[in-house]
Structure 1
Amino acid sequence: MSEIDKLQFKAVAYSGQQPGTRLIITGAVHGNETCGTQAILRVMQALDSGALLVRRGAVTFVPVANPLAYAKGERAGERNLNRNLFPTAQPQDFEDRVANWLCPLLAQHEVLLDLHSFNAASEPFVMVGPRNNDGPLEPFQHEEKERALARRLGVRRFVDGWLRTYGAGVQRRLRGSSELQTVLRYGMGTTEYMRSTGGYALTLECGQHHDPQAPEVAYRAILNTLAFLGLIDAPAPQPIAPEDMEALSMVAVYDKQHADDTFSRNWSSFDPVRQGEAIGRRADGTPVLAEHDGRILFPDSAAGANSEWYYLTRANPSF
């Protein structure tokens, strides 16, 4: 038996005696993002000791969604679990096996809180889904509920526009392919899959991977979610005030065209940029300039050629 075959999947469920929301909370979708795992285990300890009690509905905890990546201490086991997340009859890699277990589990719930962290130092933020729509890319009807929960997680930054922006990059890399299934296949992660089953979902980026405050951000978000959805007896958390919010929409993804493309400086997510500002330089010396005012997101100096290098966002006053 191989070391991979010795791995197993774990989910722990707590149910109240009264009806209520079915919630699932996941950690370590990426194996080097452990703040969610730490927070989940802390909440489970409180539930097991009786210090916390689920009164209504049910919550399922998945402390480690990707046990291979977690064991390696790396982002992925054999590939990125948070892309191409679909059940498959013939799994080709370990993440396909995870998907065959995780996707049906997600579908049994109504709400997902997925806990992540990020590489460069910055403050926590939450990624939300689309507006209500009946379109082909990501039809959705729970905008009000999803954004109400987002405002109660304890963070002030909100980002939307992931799938449409990421999908545009996929189409460009595949030389103009406009096939919807291709975009969905490459862009479908935990929250997108959850929405596809009729639920709603949030990705909370709790801080830098090794920030000691990141597990605290995750822990607070779990307790706020349990309270807001009525699973535990606790005061409902107050929403963040509109004047304290910063809402952004992802509008474009820019690729690293050559391995020797370089940034002009050490960018971090949410660094502001001005139109015309130098973000980097191509291998042939061509400057890469900001096309508009905004903030940079997910800059990756280690990206390979023909892959995501950074995103640009715009302020979204209508959030």
Structure 2
Amino acid sequence: MTIARDLQFKSINYTGLGKGPRLIITGAVHGNETCGTKAILRVMEEIDSGKLLIANGSVTFVPVTNPLAYRLEQRAGERNLNRNLFPNENPQDFEDQIANWLCPLLAQHDVLLDLHSFNAQSEPFVMVGPQNNEGTLQPFKHAEKERAMARILGVRRFVDGWLATYGEGVQRRMSDKSQLETVLRYGVGTTEFMRSTGGYALTLECGQHKDPAAPDVAYRAIMNTLAFQKIIDAPAPTPVPAAEMEALSMVVVHDKMHADDAFVRQWSSFDPVAKGQQIGVRADGTPVLSELDGRILFPDVNAGANQEWYYLTRTNPEFAAN
């Protein structure tokens, strides 16, 4: 493990005089995703100048969650912080050190808004958690609150099903089922950890990494969330109408089996795919076909062997009704 001795972790808390929820907002969980950092600093400047008042509850800002990755201007420092996010008594890398600081901080809060961006040009969207359930993978009891907050962030596209889809992919791949629980932990990031502590959480993907509009998307989401949670005295934001929503569920993940597996074209998240349409080709020439009508998500042309290559989603007509 390499420890960057000149780095430190920083969070800033503002607490109002009235009662209210404890909100935490994170930026730069991935170091090259800086729109959240810019938006957080903009909001903090408004609070510090007196333009904005935290009236009820509290908000904690973490402008740069992964300072090593942020310094390097790349996604990760030594590994992806948004996987296997748990405290570790024997930290093996810099991200373990972050987890030992970040996880207890998350657990002190009720709600998380995690601000991200993505590589290919596409429309901003929000990742939401599961329906209420008492299962073993991701038990949850705040689906109504979480989805209500998702609808006021200022985006119209909603995606659910991450951890369940990831978990099914793990089970499909694993020959040694005794290690299943350990491997499933790898799918836990900021939002999944927050839900495990009894809170609720959203990941907002604000746009392409270098899109000049992405920080504005993040800023609007922060301000809407502060108003929605009544942390600031402001009119309640209007939720996106059900008729304008595009709700999708992740249903399957495909891995890159060999370094020479390749896509047949340059895919972007949310490109439509038809059942039977060719998406890629395996190193041995076997075509990779879509098993459903839907949209592709997170296609990763740079994925290595045995890494997540792409996800498929389908329309979720039940989301708008919940």
Taking structure 1 as the reference length, the TM-score comes to: 0.98
Partner of 1:202: 202
Distance 2:55 2:49 in 1: 15
Q: Report matched runs for 1:181-200 at 5 Å.
A: 181-200=181-200
CA contact 2:111–2:201 (8 Å) conserved in 1? yes
CA contact 2:3–2:93 (8 Å) conserved in 1? no
Distance 1:211 1:68 in 2: 23
Shift of 1:169: 2.2
After TM superposition, what 4+ stretches of structure 1 lie above 3 angstroms from structure 2? none
Partner of 1:19: 19
Shift of 1:179: 5.0
Q: Which amino acid aligns with 2:175?
A: R
Distance 1:269 1:165 in 2: 16
Shift of 1:132: 0.3
Distance 1:286 1:247 in 2: 32
Partner of 2:175: 175
Q: Which amino acid aligns with 1:281?
A: V
Distance 2:3 2:186 in 1: 28
> Which consecutive residues of structure 1, in runs of 5 or more, have no partner in the other structure?
none
Shift of 1:88: 1.1
Going from structure 1 to structure 2, the CA distance change for 1:176 and 1:267 (only over 3 Å counts) comes to: farther
Q: Which amino acid aligns with 1:19?
A: K
SS at match of 2:177: coil
SS at match of 2:5: helix
Q: Report matched runs for 1:21-170 at 5 Å.
A: 21-170=21-170
CA contact 2:174–2:180 (8 Å) conserved in 1? no
CA contact 1:171–1:183 (8 Å) conserved in 2? no
Give the number of aligned pairs: 318
> Which consecutive residues of structure 2, in runs of 5 or more, have no partner in the other structure?
none
Distance 1:77 1:136 in 2: 31
Going from structure 1 to structure 2, the CA distance change for 1:302 and 1:85 (only over 3 Å counts) comes to: same
The CA deviation string for residues 198-229 of structure 1, in whole angstroms up to 9 with x for no partner, is 00000000001011111110000000000000
SS at match of 1:186: helix
Distance 1:60 1:180 in 2: 35
Partner of 1:297: 297
| Superposition CA RMSD, Å | 1.1
Percent identity between the two aligned chains: 74
SS at match of 1:166: helix
Distance 1:186 1:255 in 2: 15
The CA deviation string for residues 286-317 of structure 1, in whole angstroms up to 9 with x for no partner, is 11111010000000011001111000001000
Q: Which amino acid aligns with 1:80?
A: N
Distance 2:44 2:80 in 1: 27
Shift of 1:3: 7.0
SS at match of 2:41: helix
Shift of 1:174: 3.2
Shift of 1:264: 1.0
Distance 2:74 2:175 in 1: 30
